[in-house]
Amino acid sequence: MISKNIHTKTINGFGDEWERFDQTQLPSEEHQRLFDAYFSIFPWNHLTKNAQGFDLGCGSGRWAKLVAPRVSTLHCIDPSSAIEVAKKNLMGQANCLFHKASVDNIPLQDSTMDFGYSLGVLHHIPDTQAALDSCVKKLKTGAPFLVYLYYAFDNRPLWFRSIWKFSEIFRSIISRMPHNLRYATSQVIAAIIYLPLAKLSLVLEKIGLNVDNTPLSAYRHCSFYTMRTDALDRFGTQLEQRFTKKQIQQMMELAGLENIQFSSNLPFWCAVGYRKR
């Protein structure tokens, strides 16, 4: 079946990204801390020991690595060459099954999954609503689905949003460069922008100042490896969409989710909902 709801250049870009940054150099403590932030609202107590679910857009398998030990079966799905990276990283997880497939061709039967999640993926798909609909169809009635979509800075001041809009000029240029040049440019950005601003935020925090609205303050406790990864992710991706909390709520409801809960902490926006009974 031909996939329609994909952006080929973006998929190829992510394949390149996860091959370069397979997350094997990510410190284990940081890996766990990032995982806890994304999954802070996930209802683990809702799952039984026989639960089977899916990771849509698994990338390198960094989240699957910590989810798999908690469940019976985890289907790792990704349309890019990153699926091979995930296979390598999850070699020790016998309960992981791998599928190279797009969101509109998920190779799972409808209404069979006990849970699902898609973190940092659906905003890179042309029709995010249709992608969300496809995910929810795979869930059993009452099953939870966790999603992370880039926020539209709806909880930030106007000047903060203006800085982001300015940075979009550079992303539109860099993301269209050849892979090697795109990578090199992103690493320079990580070194001269991400790292200094993150360290400045850390210093300001230590002297008692609120750094919530300081650009890139979210990286103040992160390794340079994470900054390098995310700089490539941010500036190397051609298709990127952002949504307000209200828009995400509406999309989740349209997809057939209810009892929707948003995380009040970074990263924004993480939300969980349950397929309607």
Q: What is the mean pLDDT of residues 133-141?
A: 98
For the record, the structure tokens of 228 come out as: 């390098």
- Could you tell me where the DSSP H helices lie in the chain? 8-20, 28-38, 64-67, 82-89, 128-137, 158-174, 179-189, 195-206, 224-236, 245-254
| Choice between 200 and 49, residue whose per-residue pLDDT is larger | 200
pLDDT for 277 equals 84
Q: What is the pLDDT of residue 97?
A: 98
Rounded CA gap, 80 and 235, in Å? 18
What is the average pLDDT value for the chain, to the nearest integer? 96
Convert the pLDDT of each residue in 196-246 to its tens digit. 999 999 999 999 999 999 999 999 999 999 999 999 999 999 999 999 999
Expressed in percent and rounded to 5, the helix, strand and coil fractions of the chain are 45, 15, 40
CA angle (85 as vertex; 82, 91 as ends), nearest 5: 140
Among candidate residues 98, 57, 91, the one with its CA nearest the CA of residue 74 = 98
For residue 94, give both structure tokens. Answer: 């016998």
Q: Please give the average per-residue pLDDT across 239-263, as a whole number.
A: 97
* pLDDT score at 2: 54
Q: To the nearest whole percent, how much of the chain has pLDDT over 70?
A: 99
Quick one: pLDDT band at residue 39, thresholds 50, 70, 90? very high
- For residue 24, give Cα distances in angstroms to 5, 11, 31, 89, 148: 30, 21, 10, 8, 23
> Which tokens belong to 241?
């969409």
pLDDT higher than 60, residue 1: no
For the cut 90, the answer to whether the pLDDT of residue 68 exceeds it is: yes
| Pick from 7-21, 24-38, 93-107, 130-144: least confident | 7-21
pLDDT of 49 reads 86
Separation of alpha carbons 141 and 118, rounded Å: 18
Burial class of residue 206, CB neighbours in 10 A (0-12, 13-18, 19+):
exposed
Structure tokens at 123: 């905003």
Starting at the edge strand that comes first in sequence, how are the strands of the sheet with 115-119 ordered? 96-99, 73-77, 52-56, 115-119, 144-148, 270-275, 257-262
Q: What percent of the chain has pLDDT over 90?
A: 94
- Higher pLDDT among residues 3 and 156, named by residue: 156
User: How do 270-275 and 257-262 pair as beta strands?
Assistant: antiparallel
Residues 6+ apart with CB under 8 A from 9: 238, 239
The pLDDT assigned to 7 comes to: 87
